[in-house]
Amino acid sequence: MHQRKKRLIYLLGFMGVGKSTVGALLGERLHWPFIDLDATIEAGHGTTIRQIFENAGEPFFRQIERAALVEASKTEPAVIALGGGTFVQKPNFDYIQEAGGTTIWLDCPLQELRRRCEGKNDRPLFRDPASFAQLFEQRLPFYRQADHRIPTEGIGPEEVVENILRLQVF
């Protein structure tokens, strides 16, 4: 039997692509709640993502990220901005497919992403250009499996939102 698509939008893509900014605007346009996964983790743990990585390590972060994903997916409708690594964790990938929402990959070339992340201190996985590029390449095969791809290079967040709305998946 064909299952109804849930009114859940998962925004995914590499760090710096604008998932949080676009997600907040998209939520406003749709009058749907917006949930930023990283922000819920920080609020729930009373600390920053960077501190969680430093104090407890990435495996612990991935555990709480998974719990936050499951919790966020209980809200419907909702626009959910994932973290850059959420969709590439196999259990999360499977969970999201089963959750029955729509996945949208915000795509942007590496150089532009690097430019946006450089000089900021809030991303523990932005260490150096070489490891950034390697992580990007590793993740592309996952991102490519999203239902939709929206290019974002040289486009402001409002226009990105317009392009998402044009998908008419709502």
Of the ranges 67-75, 79-87, 101-109, 147-155, which one interacts with ligand S3P (CB under 6 A)?
A: 79-87
CB 102 within 8 A of CB 5: yes
Of the ranges 83-91, 106-114, 146-154, 160-168, which one interacts with ligand S3P (CB under 6 A)?
A: 83-91
Residues 128-167, interacting with ligand S3P (CB under 6 A): none
Q: Which residues pair with 11 in a beta bridge?
A: 81, 104
| Residue closer to ligand S3P, measured from CB, 5 or 120 | 120
Among positions 18, 27, 84, 101, the unique one binding ligand S3P when judged by CB under 6 A? 84
Nearest to 10 by CA among 55, 75, 61, 59: 75
Q: Does residue number 15 form part of the binding site for ligand S3P (CB under 6 A)? A: yes
User: Cβ 110 to ligand S3P, closest distance in Å?
Assistant: 13
Owner of token pair 């991935």: 62
Axis crossing angle, helix 58-72 with helix 49-56, rounded to the nearest 10: 130
What is the size of the binding site for ligand S3P (CB under 6 A)? 10
What is the DSSP-derived secondary structure letter of residue 100? Answer: T
User: Cβ 93 to ligand S3P, closest distance in Å?
Assistant: 14
The verdict on whether omega for the bond into residue 129 sits within 30 degrees of 0, i.e. cis, is no
Helices (H), 31-89: 37-45, 49-56, 58-72
Nearest to 23 by CA among 8, 2, 3: 8
What is the DSSP-derived secondary structure letter of residue 88? Answer: G
Among positions 77, 100, 109, 124, the unique one binding ligand S3P when judged by CB under 6 A? 124
| Residue closer to ligand S3P, measured from CB, 125 or 169 | 125
User: Cβ 13 to ligand S3P, closest distance in Å?
Assistant: 7
Q: Does residue number 123 form part of the binding site for ligand S3P (CB under 6 A)? A: yes
Binding site for ligand S3P (CB under 6 A): 15, 19, 38, 49, 83-85, 123-125
